[in-house]
Structure 1
Amino acid sequence: MSQKQLDQKFWQNFAKNHWEKKPLVLKNVKSGLLEMGDAEIFNLLVLYSDRCRELNDPTGFKFYIDGFKAEAEDVLQVLPEKEDTSLLGYHERMKSLFSDYCLVCDELLQVNGKKQHLLTEFTNELYRHVGFPNRFSEIGLYLGNYRKTPFGVHVDSCGVFSFPVVGVKRFRLWTSAYAKKNPALDRAFKYDKHKKASQLLEVKPGDISYWPSSAWHIAESDGSFSATWSLGVWVDQPHKELVAQSLNDLLDAKLGIAGARVTTPFKTLHEKSGEVTELPEAYEQSIALLKNLSTSELQETFLKSWMKHISLQGFKNIPRVNMKLSLKSKVRLRSEKSLILWQQSLTKKDKFFFSFGGVVVESSKAQGLLKLVKALNNGDTVVIGEFLKGAEAKQDLHALQSLTDAGALSTAK
């Protein structure tokens, strides 16, 4: 059987007929996201588990036993270990301890920037056809022999793509209209009388399933082991909230100390009749400030906010790096498809903004840094000191370090 290509025809059909409308199952799919096999994923799990044990912090992992969520200190005791040798080896160890368990890792790709591009290749095509998410997307790995999702029938605020790695995965779905008429479905584990009204999706390694954010759902199993990637695309943040966030940043800068006051002086609260006719002076000053805002200031505010938002590439988190820079450092982009974004200020021509991974830095008279960024974005390997020179070198190196901390660069040999 030939593999299903996720080509432009597919994405156009998906955006028109399925996105936020109805579920879909694709069999035998050709996608970079499916390149990671169970052995590689097990190694990632061990790597991340080792880091959690070293820090004594299981953040990114959740563990459920017979449907009950384990405490954080207990999670560290049940994470994968190198001695398990494989996902199935880990399963055998857990099966000897628990009859029904579920391990969730929401941060697995944080330890493997080299594989991040497989995810972005998929999401970039999705965003191109349905729009860039106003909140974010996140991917997690679910594994175990749990017979039902530990938190029962539920609905999320995200559309979900599932990619099985090991075993057969089954998802039972209900429409939002049916769930509204049958509120007992919420968090239910017993729902036999509602099965006729549901849709059952069944996928195995090499397949992909999707359901919209409105679908109530639960995963089902016969107790066999499975491991599945789950990509959630959150669609619960309207455009007006992005606008409000951008304006809030602007007001913080413009109002200064006055904007931080927690009481408002006044002359008269209201007339004897109860009518309110007078604004306090603080409001009058704010009105004057807003009236004096220029189009360039507003454009710059929104452009900088948009740049910060898209610098995360549509994700809640992206892989970070730990690397100390110097002028002698030889560096390149961590990924040729993950560019450092930049813009020139619309209000001060000698100021530039640079962004990566949700971090925005600014630098004045940054022609050297700009040339360096353009060279990196072009795919070049560079020695930092060949670009950052003179009086601005120190401030530009500091700005570049912030971008590096956010995951932009890697060392080059």
Structure 2
Amino acid sequence: MSALETTRRFDWDTFVARYWNQRPVLFKGTGASPFTLTDVFDASAGATRRYLERSYAVDSRPDVTFTVDRSRQLVLKPWLPRASDGSLEAYDARIAAEVGAKRYALIISSLHSSGYGLWSRERAFFAELWKRVGLPITGGITTLFHGTYEHSPVGVHLDRFTTFLFALRGRKRMRFWRKRPWKEDVSTVLDYQPYLKDSFVAEVEPGDILYWPSTYYHVGESAGAGVTTSVNVGIPLTEHRTVYAVDDLLRGMIDETSLADHEWTQTRLARVDASPLMRDALRAGGRLPTVLPRALSEAVEAFRDVSRPRDARRHIQETWLKRLTSGGFQPVPDPAPTKRLRDGDRVHADARFPIVLEQEDTTRWICAANGQALRGKGGGQAVAKLFKELASGRESRVGDLLRPFRSGGRTAPDVDVIAATREGMRSVLEKLHACRALTQGQGNSPHPPLDAS
């Protein structure tokens, strides 16, 4: 049997039985890829916006990297795609005017978090795999590789994830080794010419899907002139351990990248602000004080606060529902701006990806969709009936959905908890609409659906 199998038919049952976590395979021109150049550009421009809104230390590893002839650029703003470019082709023309004959590489990780169109189609595609092998609790990663680079900037390496490559533009060559080809105690090599004889290659073109297990060393190469564009999706199997998710419980975040300063201030541990410097740490005779320094005592108290059984249980439940409805890819794209839903508006959910409702206790509940969660209180069977109707996928008038609920304020006495009143449940529908879990029908409503970008 050849080192690389090639087939022109893609189906999940055959894939799982023959290739999943076993050996590489190249699917040629099957038309099965969920990715489009338009979605990739929109997500790339979104990633630029997210990057520019955050602050990073110089030595940090943000989601976006740009290299010119293998040299990583520290000032990224001029090099990144922006909405005003209009397309990847126009972006490339702008960059080409700057770099000339030099080669460049744009790499964006967590690409799915910056574009709803890309994320939604990716979720639908991989939902069929999750049915067969199980949902990755810690989530997959989506990485864009774009540019004129000669080979992957990191050289030959081993990924932690089992990987799918979706080719979108240009020709690309992936070179593989069954085991590490060098003996030196290093994790990657840039000069791999001495090891070519032990490798095998896969030539990919637009529309192709290439898969390889995490046990194969590899490097991406240019296989022709011009720009290449591909999206890699990595799925954790062994190295991305579930214990990493404990971080979520402490910070209240599902984004596992480094937090920017303004994001840290929104976490539940941000109130620990005592100076780490302590005067008179040792008393006369070398004796330690009888109380902890303020910095440590505040940290202990903050940890005790976030780990109280009731709060921890709620947060674990909410975090799990977000992960469950993210379709294996989080963080999810940000919600769109909330818009008012009137009684005459008609809405429907996607029955393939239902809105999930779970009881938190006898009166409290949590609903989740598209990786977002809302907490509510009260309503009893009326709440359950509303979400059952939404789960059917049928189109319903907002006024009909809200008829069982009484008038009242939108929020319960608890912070961030929505009261199951008529206006409170309207707020729930509006928030679900903003995160694209509800689509607004045309009907006779004067209000168009939310834009999906």
With normalisation by structure 2, the TM-score equals 0.66
Q: Label 1:332 to 1:175 Cα distance change in 2 as closer, same or farther (>3 A).
A: farther
The separation in 1 between residues aligned to 2:114 and 2:247, in whole angstroms, is 34
- 1:337 counterpart = 2:352: yes
Kindly tell me: are residues 195 and 314 of structure 1, through their superposed partners in 2, closer, same or farther at Cα, counting changes over 3 Å?
A: same
Higher percent of residues as helix: 1
Q: 2:368, 2:175 → 1: CA distance?
A: 41
Aligned-pair distance for 1:221?
1.5
Q: Is the 8 A contact 1:311 1:357 kept in 2?
A: yes
Helix, strand or coil at the partner of 2:191: coil
Q: Amino acid of the residue matched to residue 196 of structure 2? A: K
- Residues 338-358 of structure 1: CA deviation (Å, up to 9, x unaligned): 32111234xx44433211244
Q: Work out the CA distance in 2 between the residues paired with 1:248 and 1:77.
A: 32
The match for 2:373 is 360
**Residues 20-59 of structure 1 correspond to what in structure 2 (within 5 A)?**
21-33=22-34, 36=36, 38=37, 40-41=38-39, 44=42, 48=46, 51=49
* Partner Cα separation in structure 1 for residue 210 and residue 54 of structure 2: 35
Query: Sequence identity, in percent?
Result: 22
1:218 Cα offset (Å): 1.6
Preserved CA contact (<8 Å) 2:66 2:79: no
Q: Distance in 2 between matches of 1:153 and 1:177?
A: 9
Q: Is the 8 A contact 1:139 1:231 kept in 2?
A: yes
- How far apart are the structure 1 equivalents of 2:144 and 2:376? 40
What is the DSSP-based 3-state SS (H/G/I as helix, E as strand, rest coil) of the residue aligned with 1:338? coil
Give the Cα–Cα distance (whole angstroms) in 2 for the partners of residues 221 and 396 of structure 1: 54
Out of 386, 389, 399, the residue aligned to residue 372 of structure 1 is 386
* Deviations 1:346-387 (CA, angstroms, capped at 9, x unpaired): xx4443321124443333333333333222222233344433
Aligned to 2:127: 124
Whole-angstrom CA distance in 2 between matches of 1:101 and 1:216: 23
Q: Is the CA contact 2:51–2:63 (under 8 Å) kept in the aligned structure 1?
A: no
Alignment of 1:170-209 (within 5 A): 170-176=173-179, 178=181, 181-184=183-186, 186-209=187-210
Contact 2:321 2:368 in 1 (8 A): yes
Return the offset for 1:164. 0.9
Against the structure 1 CA distance between its residues 403 and 166, is the aligned structure 2 distance closer, same or farther, given a 3 Å change threshold?
same
Q: In the TM superposition, what are the counterparts of 1:248-397 in structure 2 within 5 Å?
A: 306-326=320-340, 328=342, 330=345, 332=347, 335-345=350-360, 348-366=361-379, 367-388=381-402, 389-390=405-406, 391=408, 392-393=420-421, 394-397=423-426
Change (3 A) 1:134 1:228: same
Matched, 1:135 2:138: yes
The structure 2 residue matched to 1:102, chosen from 102, 105, 112, is: 105
2:154 aligns with 151
Distance 1:208 1:163 in 2: 5
Q: What is the CA–CA distance in structure 2 between the aligned matches of 1:397 and 1:412, rounded to whole Å?
A: 16
TM-score (norm. length: structure 1):
0.71
CA deviation profile, 1:24-46 (whole Å, cap 9, x unmatched): 22222231515x2x4x3575268
Q: CA deviation at 1:140?
A: 2.7
Cα RMSD, aligned residues only: 4.2
- Equivalent residue letter for 1:365: G
| Deviation by residue 1:231-250 (Cα, 9 ceiling, x = unmatched) | 1213333456669978999x
**Paired position in structure 1 for 2:284:** none
Task: Give the letter for the 2:20 counterpart.
Answer: H
Cα offset, 1:133, TM superposition: 0.8
Judging changes above 3 Å, is the alpha-carbon distance between structure 1 residues 157 and 177 closer, same or farther for their aligned structure 2 residues? same
After superposition, the C-alpha distances for 1:275-301 in whole angstroms (9 at most, x for unaligned) are: xxxxxxxxxxxxxxxxxx9xxxx9999
Give 5+ residue unaligned stretches, structure 2: 1-6, 57-61, 253-271, 273-308, 409-419, 443-453
SS at match of 1:229: strand
Q: Following the alignment from structure 2 to structure 1, what is the Cα–Cα distance between the partners of residues 136 and 199?
A: 28
For structure 1, the residue ranges without an aligned partner over 5 or more in a row are: 250-259, 261-292
Contact 1:148/1:221 (CA < 8 Å) preserved in 2?
yes
Q: Secondary structure at the match of 2:195?
A: helix
| 1:226 aligned partner | 228
In the alignment, what sits opposite 1:268? none
CA distance in 1, matches of 2:148, 2:315: 49
